[in-house]
Structure 1
Amino acid sequence: MKIQYRKLTQDDLPKFIKMRMAQLQEEGAEPTIDLEPNLKEYYIRHLADGTFVSWLAVDGDKIIGTSGMSFVQKPPYYSNPTGKIGLLSSMYILMDYRRKGIAKELLNKVVNEAKEYGCGTVQITASDMGVFLYTDFGFKKNNNFMQYTF
């Protein structure tokens, strides 16, 4: 097994989107709609404008792990004078490749992308499986996070 790491390209999108949908379902989401067109439109647009970046782990020509970082900007505040925030998503490793350090390497790569972009913070809504990865990396819980869903 010779794992290599590279950035996501538009050519990878069909497989990347399938892995994203598998991840969401593994985390408990019900596939009530065809999410593929929305994901495709999002990734094409945000890859093109630089507000989404992803690193992939590949074994030969097989994508075995994904990561994603979306960049947003809020008005600057004292703990984040740029207002730029990285929203981490799409951290997913195929079952046979888990617990081998691949997720940690992908996380390191996308967090570095956020730093280079000028983000003052990176946020994630962690799955139960991911909590240990993120806390080991240095993420801290923020008890002020709230969400309103339509």
Structure 2
Amino acid sequence: MLIYRKATINDIDQLIDLRKKQLVDEGIEPNIDIDTELYVFFKNKLSDGSLIQLLVENNDEIIACGAVIFYEFPPSYTNKSGKKAYIANMYTKENYRGQGIATNLLTKLVDEAKTSAISRIWLGASKMGRPVYKKFGFKETDEWLELIIHD
């Protein structure tokens, strides 16, 4: 039986491990140490409530996770509150994929956003995750541009 629960500060070590596995799974080379930065991120965001990280457990093993991060932008005519949410850290261990776990996680994360009066949710999808999000109802937009600033 799968258990879905909110992560706490006590889960940070597992969150760091899952995040690094997710990045490697997406084909990103682990060429630098990001443990300290991940620790600070999870501690700060879990503490201030701007991150809700859900974990899925099977017999005390964390097999999947997903998060919603809350941001505030200036209010606009298309988003009166200015509040938006970003879905992140979606990861399911390989032998548990294709069982609807990611879709269940996504449903719970969207519900969290709804209870926080969020009307806009966005995400960056890996090639593997894209079909899950499209099936759920996420649409690709041309709205965002990105500038990468190098050190």
Task: Give the TM-score normalised by the residue count of structure 1.
Answer: 0.96
- d(CA) in 1 for partners of 2:98, 2:77: 37
Alignment: residue pair count: 149
Structure 2, unmatched stretches of 5+, are: none
SS in structure 1 of the partner of residue 121 of structure 2: strand
Q: Write the letter of the residue equivalent to 1:96.
A: N
- d(CA) in 2 for partners of 1:20, 1:52: 14
Q: How many angstroms does 1:26 deviate by? A: 1.2
- d(CA) in 1 for partners of 2:72, 2:141: 19
Q: How much identity, in percent, do the aligned residues show? A: 36
The answer to whether the aligner puts 1:88 opposite 2:82 as a matched pair is no
The answer to whether the aligner puts 1:79 opposite 2:75 as a matched pair is no
SS in structure 1 of the partner of residue 86 of structure 2: strand
Q: How many angstroms does 1:36 deviate by? A: 1.0
Q: How many angstroms does 1:144 deviate by? A: 2.0
Task: Give the TM-score normalised by the residue count of structure 2.
Answer: 0.95
Root mean square deviation of aligned Cα: 0.9
2:33 aligned residue: 34
Q: How many angstroms does 1:102 deviate by? A: 0.4
Runs of 4 or more above 2 Å deviation:
none
Q: Write the letter of the residue equivalent to 2:101.
A: I
Query: Could you give the per-residue CA deviations for residues 68-117 of structure 1, whole angstroms, max 9, x where no partner exists?
Result: 11111111112211111111100000001000010011111111111112
- d(CA) in 1 for partners of 2:71, 2:97: 30
The answer to whether the aligner puts 1:145 opposite 2:147 as a matched pair is no
Q: Write the letter of the residue equivalent to 1:142.
A: T
1:24 aligned residue: 23
